[in-house]
């Protein structure tokens, strides 16, 4: 059996697991950081929790007989991507990395691209209208000091109290339909949206709602991914994984 370790976290990692675990002669384990309490079920085996840096990941791969890596982390999971890349190099393992294309501004969009959530919090103008933060709980801390803003923070899970005097937390999990996003924007009358450039369709509707309702967007740029080939779709990644497995299968069949 060819044992793949998928570093999961992105929405696509579930589709990849479905496809790869169905391949003949393949065993798949998907790893999650464990930040989400209520995770969807995934095909194949799963393990949860940090590895302990690159060295920990290497030790895990050696101990568990991993033959190949799939990087299906979220586009903002820069450290984990770097660790997977370094591990593949050190152990000379094949690495299949998914890189979902980023969103690009279109006609009617009012985007300001920012390098970090700190920069977003620093430059967001004072406004009487509420601001929608749709960027994950790891990025919201810099907004705690913006007492001059009313914050509406959308998260997939409730967080421990957020130290801000005028905020509301909306617990909701995507994907969100455009109609629902527009209704949300209209109900609150948002003055700005702050989000990450995650790309993909899963979380795109908020951008369309912002465009239609002329709401300015502060868009967090992605961290630079490690150098190396990437696949921009699940289908192209799975095709290459499958090709490798077929080649490995034939090679084994030829050994007398
Ligand atoms: P990160 O900064 O790349 O990861 C930090 C550490 O968490 C890694 O070094 C690793 O610890 C551990 N880790 C991350 N993903 C893991 C996985 N799949 N399996 C095992 N360990 C994992 O990424 P992050 O802290 O998760 O998130 C950074 C940004 O990405 C945030 O903006 C977050 O909202 C966004 N994001 C991440 C995920 C995700 O599933 N990771 C999903 C959605 C959004 P060790 O080095 O100790 O092994």
| pLDDT score of 115 | 97
Q: Is the pLDDT of residue 97 over 70?
A: yes
Q: Is the CB of 78 under 6 A from ligand 1?
A: yes
φ and ψ of 42, to 5 deg: -125, 145
Q: Is the CB of 117 under 6 A from ligand 1?
A: no
Q: How far is CA 188 from the centre of its chain?
A: 27
pLDDT tens, 244-254?
Answer: 988 887 776 65
pLDDT tens, 165-211?
Answer: 999 999 998 899 999 999 999 999 999 999 999 999 989 999 999 99
Identify the band that residue 101 occupies on the pLDDT scale cut at 50, 70 and 90.
very high
Q: Is the CB of 12 under 6 A from ligand 1?
A: no
d(CA 8, CA 15) in angstroms, rounded, equals: 11
DSSP E strand boundaries for 25-129 = 26-32, 45-48, 68-71, 95-97, 111-114
Q: Is the pLDDT of residue 45 over 90?
A: yes
| pLDDT score of 37 | 79
Of 47, 39, 43, the closest CA to residue 18 belongs to 43
pLDDT tens, 63-94?
Answer: 999 999 999 999 999 999 999 999 999 999 99
| pLDDT score of 60 | 98
What is the number of the ligand 1 atom nearest to the C-alpha of 8?
18
| pLDDT score of 33 | 96
What is the number of the ligand 1 atom nearest to the C-alpha of 52?
47
Those residues with Cβ within 8 angstroms of residue 25's Cβ, 6 or more apart along the chain or in another chain: 1, 2, 245, 248, 249
Q: Is the CB of 50 under 6 A from ligand 1?
A: yes
| pLDDT score of 38 | 80
Whole-Å CA distances, 90 to 65, 85, 86, 168: 15, 9, 6, 46
CB of 93 within 8 A of CB of 67? yes
């Amino acid at each position: 059996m060819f044992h793949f370790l998928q570093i999961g976290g992105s929405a696509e990692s579930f589709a990849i697991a479905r496809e790869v675990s169905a391949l003949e002669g393949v065993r798949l384990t998907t790893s999650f950081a464990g930040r989400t309490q209520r995770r969807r079920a995934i095909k194949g085996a799963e393990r949860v929790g940090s590895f302990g840096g690159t060295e920990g990941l290497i030790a895990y791969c050696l101990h568990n007989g991993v033959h190949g890596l799939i990087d299906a982390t979220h586009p903002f999971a820069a450290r984990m991507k770097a660790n997977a890349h370094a591990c593949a190099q050190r152990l000379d393992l094949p690495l299949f990395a998914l890189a979902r294309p980023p969103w690009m501004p279109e006609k009617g969009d009012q985007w300001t691209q920012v390098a970090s959530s700190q920069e977003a919090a620093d430059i967001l103008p004072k406004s009487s209208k509420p601001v929608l933060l749709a960027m994950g709980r790891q990025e919201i801390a810099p907004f705690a000091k913006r007492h001059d803003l009313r914050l509406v923070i959308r998260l997939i899970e409730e967080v421990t109290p957020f130290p801000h005097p005028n905020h509301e937390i909306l617990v909701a999990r995507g994907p969100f339909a455009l109609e629902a996003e527009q209704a949300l924007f209209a109900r609150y009358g948002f003055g700005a949206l702050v989000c990450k450039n995650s790309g993909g369709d899963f979380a795109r509707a908020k951008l369309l709602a912002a465009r239609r309702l002329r709401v300015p967007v502060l868009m967090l740029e992605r961290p630079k991914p490690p150098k190396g080939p990437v696949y921009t779709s699940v289908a192209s990644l799975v095709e290459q994984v499958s090709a490798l497995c077929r080649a490995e299968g034939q090679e084994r069949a030829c050994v007398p």
